[in-house]
Structure 1
Amino acid sequence: MTSTLRGVAPAVATAFLLAGCSASADESDSAVISAPTSAARVEAAGPTPRLAVTHDGGVTVLDAATLEAVDEFPLEGFTRLDPAGDGRHVLITAASRFAVLDTGAWTDQHGDHGHSYTAPPVLADWSFDADGPGHVVTHAGVTVLFADGTGRIESFDPRELAEGRPETRVEQTPEAHHGVAVALPGGGLVTTIGNEASRSGIVVLDRDRNEVTRNEQCPGVHGEAAAADGALVFGCQDGVLVHRDGVITKVQSPDAYGRIGNQAGSDASPIVLGDYKTEPDAELERPQRVMLLDTVANRLTPVDLGTSYSFRSLGRGPQGEALVLGTDGALHVIDPVTATVTRTIDVVDAWTEPVRWQDPRPTLFVEGATAYVTEPAATTLHAVDLTTGAVVASVELAEIPNEITGVSG
């Protein structure tokens, strides 16, 4: 169903989300070693994608073309990775902060052309403070950080990271919860609604943080993805919410409990890929179906893979192909329009998803037309050419890989 648009007085809107102050780069804790000096950089013939891979005790930066290690940084505790949104930096979720890693590969655009550079990677000596750092989302040119422990939302222009600590806008949800926030074109914001006990839906706010609309028919709201037609998708325990142009539509799952908690969108497709679980009481469900959401028709279509997968198995190809890394060791390529598996590519040995979500398991990351797949059991990283379907490179790593992400350079 479609929610009704309704406006509220500013005082009421403020009760939901408090507009916070900006954090200036002049603050006393803003010292940074973020941008390499011009003497350290080397001009490259073109963009040089790089990868970041976590392991127990640190993160390693690799050249995405050769899979050779460029540098390594020690970090204590369990860490997670997200691209920062500028094609150069990576945000590392560590303890009570989002650390900032300059991968040392970037391109400066000059009208109809660009100049590409490489330099030694650098881990900034400052970070974004966050109690329970969680989701990182870049949309509409703005990167938004969500802190689960407090409901703190911090947003910034990721292009400013090249100069050091960016100016940020800090805001707050009424109650802390495991949530996510997404910037909208024109300065608006979508954020989840919830508390420590439950999560119920999303609310849409304008640039002045007045409420535009909300929908609380999304139990257990989790995750987000953007589609090519401008739609934003949020997962529920019984379907999804689709936001487009200030209107929220609920799309119901075919099962009473049909959880879509992780999604993967594509700039090349209006169809979003999601995982799909139907066992509410399972300690760890190992589903064999994924779900495709057509954001134009608002229709969910299941695809049976014949193998299970994990939440780190979802990706999208350069033409909008839906990609799922199965526990059978194969990369399953799905045509999102016909909802059929068009190719399977053997990449790793068969594996079993661990019960603890933090534990290493084969993980998929896609940059351009190359899919990168970790194989923790073999301490190996593989590169797959999505055009030919061939595994074009494999390298043994120094440490057991866990999470992986990358930048376009």
Structure 2
Amino acid sequence: MRRTLACATGISLILAATAMAQEADRDDATLYRVFVGDHADPKITAFDLSAPDKRWTFETTGQSKLYGVDDGAAVVAVQSDNDVVHFFRSGIVLDSHGDHSDIAIADPVALENPLTGPRPFHVIDHAGKVVINFDRGGYAEIVDAHDLAAGKVEAERLPQARAHHGYAAPIGKAWVTSVASNAPVDGDAAPQRLGLQQVKADGTPVGAVATCTGIHGEAFSGAYLATGCEEGILTVAAGADGPSFKMLPYPADLPAGETTGTLLGSKSLQVFLGNYGDKGLVVVDPADEPHFQHIELPFRRIDFVLDPANARFGYVLTEDGTLHQIDVLHGKVAQSARVTEPYSMDGHWNDPRPRLAMAGNEVVMSDPKAGMVRRIAKDTLEGAGTIPVEGMPYNIAVAGGSGVVHEGDGHDHAAHAHSHGDPKIYAGYFEDSQIQDRPLSDYAGDWQSLYPYLQDGTLDPVWAHKAESGTMSADGVKAEYETGYRTDVERITIEGDVVTFYRDGKPVKGTYADDGRETLTYKKGNRGVRFIFKKTDGDAEAPQFIQFSDHGIAPAKADHYHLYWGDDRAALLEEVTNWPTYYPSSLNAKEIVSEMLAH
């Protein structure tokens, strides 16, 4: 035993020394890169927020609406009036590993092979797909988001029944597209938009059209796609038999005669923020009643954004030049401050007016009249600086964040991306003295179940890989994991001491406190530690106990975990065949497979 302990101690010392060397060879960095399209001239200016004198200028065909996609790794420049879409690598790639992110930094680059076609407009970035609707072509082009980040532009076309101002979007394994009438209605110059319909990848309709008169505006949040209609908000969720549609009618206490045509979706809360008439906003909860909270603004709205770093807040600029912080949870204006000269909303919708974006702790705002980009502290709404931009800065997008820069590795993070600490501990071999208590915050975040990926075949390469080094066939491995991953809880969010379980998009919440840990010994001799939390408050349907296992035995941010839940603490410890497994909701299918293959 002493010899085994000595060997283990020696290995631990070597690993600790290696980790210290790796720590010494890395630097933390925060970088936000701003892309600004000019209102009049066909150009885009890019600069680093922390060093704005370092700039890049890209020529375009016309005025660009800018979209950051693939977590900001790429930027899409849609030039609707010039029938072209240009793509750029932002030069900033963030790679999340649970306890931290890596950041790779390079110069931005314009990609070759822009897309051309009649009036591109709506852009959707979801599930690893960038979908661009060509309004006068009657089709959408689909580009792989990660291909853009790698510098490739290859598009697949999804035909629509007829040309119209609409969109197409992926929903689980299916697609939905907006649907329009065959001919102009009441002398209108364009077909009337009627609703949303499931289609196959070749555009073939599946099922009936879900009514959504005048459909306009769309966003994803949690399990839902939401879109604005004259009747209300139409929500769509993926199901075993395809997309399910539900209309949320505007309630009677909302101002009459107004609708929603622009929606933003939160990435960390299942909630939407939308416009409602010229002077209002609505907070939309797609699952729970009341579905709508109305926010009246003192002046007409110019632009609004959600904060991806703090889901509680959004920001809206009104025509008097005031920026308002919106408390999304309580549906109210939290604070306001004057940040620029007034911009009247009279005139054309595309007249030069400020546009907003988020950059960490700041709101970044273009100011066309002043010829500058303004930096505004998001917590206080005080000015944090101005950056002159030649011309008339208009549409804006921001890429970047915080991460670890690894010096001397040529920004190749593949090896680090799949490091899970001490491999012996990860495999379940450790000493009792190495175990430490862990807080619930180690598991904070938004998590998705792997079970749907097993069911649709996404994880088949993983089973083949495991079979190569084991005694079972790939089908045998898959069968074992089918039992292991099986669950009807598709999503879990953990914020503070509140854990929310989602079944078919419907939340059940509980408040949990530390209830100790248990060390288990498995049949093959390796061990695992369950970190246990007990419910102290919340919904009756929420389990009394939750037990986490993520191969770790000491405090560290989890990059995935297995979760056991129920009302009998002791009985849960006997469960070793069903271990629902969760990965960050921010990862797409390709990234999850890559992570699992590296284990």
TM-score normalised by L of structure 1: 0.79
- CA distance in 2: counterparts of 1:319 and 1:213, whole angstroms: 39
Structure 2 unaligned spans of 5+: 1-25, 182-189, 402-599
Deviation, structure 1 residue 63? 0.8
- How far did 1:216 drift? 3.9
Q: In the TM superposition, what are the counterparts of 1:253-264 in structure 2 within 5 Å?
A: 253=250, 254=252, 257-264=257-264
Confirm or deny that 1:226 pairs with 2:212. Answer: no
**Does the aligned pair in 2 maintain the 1:238–1:258 contact within 8 Å?**
no
Aligned to 2:341: 349
1:338 shift after superposition: 1.5
Letter in 2 for 1:46: A
- Structure 2 residue corresponding to 1:368, chosen from 340, 360, 364: 360
- 1:214–1:248: 8 Å Cα contact kept in structure 2? no
Structure 1: distance between partners of 2:95 and 2:300: 42
For 2:172 and 2:30, the matched residues in 1 are separated by 27
Tell me if 1:290 matches 2:281: yes
Q: Deviation per CA, 1:139-185, whole angstroms, max 9, x where unpaired?
A: 12211111111122121321112333244321100101001122223
Q: Matched residues in 2 for 1:382 and 1:89: separation?
A: 23
Structure with bigger gyration radius: 2
**How far is 1:242 from its partner?**
0.9
Q: Are residues 365 and 114 of structure 1, via their aligned partners in 2, closer, same or farther at CA, if it must alter by over 3 Å?
A: closer
Residue 170 of structure 1: aligned partner: 157
Distance 1:394 1:270 in 2: 34
Structure 2 residue aligned with 1:247:
244
Matches within 5 A, 1:91-240: 91-94=76-79, 95-107=82-94, 115-186=102-173, 188-195=174-181, 196-205=190-199, 211=205, 213-227=207-221, 229-240=222-233
State which of 315, 318, 326 in structure 2 corresponds to 1:334.
326
Deviations along 1:22-71, one digit per CA (max 9) or x if unpaired, are xxxxxxxxxxxxxxxxxxxxx98535321110112211011133444521
Cα offset for 1:318? 2.4
Q: CA distance change for structure 1 residues 357 and 208 in 2, over 3 Å: closer, same or farther?
A: closer
Q: Give the secondary structure class of the aligned counterpart of 2:112.
A: strand
**C-alpha contact 2:159 2:202 (8 A) present in aligned 1:** no
Q: 1:197 is matched by which residue type in structure 2?
A: P
SS in 2 for 1:159: helix
Residue in 1 that maps onto 2:304: 313
In the alignment, is residue 80 of structure 1 matched against residue 65 of structure 2?
yes
Q: CA deviation at 1:193?
A: 0.9
Work out the CA distance in 2 between the residues paired with 1:208 and 1:44. 47
Q: Would the aligned equivalents of 1:381 and 1:397 in 2 still touch at CA under 8 Å?
A: yes
1:346-384 Cα offsets, whole Å, 9 max, x none, are 321222125122221011112333211111121121122
Taking the aligned partners of 2:180 and 2:119, their CA distance within structure 1 comes to 15
Report the counterpart of residue 280 of structure 1 in structure 2.
none
Q: What CA distance in whole angstroms lies between the structure 1 residues aligned with 2:176 and 2:149?
A: 27
Matches of 1:297 and 1:109, distance apart in 2: 31
Moved more, 67-76 or 323-332: 67-76
Q: Which structure 1 residue ranges, 5 or more long, are not aligned?
A: 1-42, 278-286
CA contact (8 A) 2:72 2:90 kept: no
- The structure with the largest strand share of the pair is 1
2:31 to 40, 48, 59: 48
Between 1:112-121 and 1:330-339, the stretch displaced more is 112-121
Q: Is the 8 A contact 1:237 1:257 kept in 2?
A: no
1:65 to 2:58 alignment: no
For the aligned residues, what is the CA RMSD?
Answer: 2.5
- More helix per residue: 2
Which has the bigger relative contact order, CA under 8 A and spacing at least 6? 1
Q: Where does residue 30 of structure 1 map in the other structure?
A: none
Matched-pair contact (CA < 8 Å) for 2:78–2:84: yes
Amino acid at match of 2:285: D
Cα 1:86–1:342 change in 2 (3 A) is closer
TM-score relative to the length of structure 2: 0.55
| Secondary structure of 1:120's aligned partner | coil
CA distance in 1 between counterparts of 2:99 and 2:285 reads: 34
Q: Deviation per CA, 1:205-254, whole angstroms, max 9, x where unpaired?
A: 46686655554421110110112x31111011232111123221112224
**Which amino acid is the alignment partner of residue 204 of structure 1?**
Q
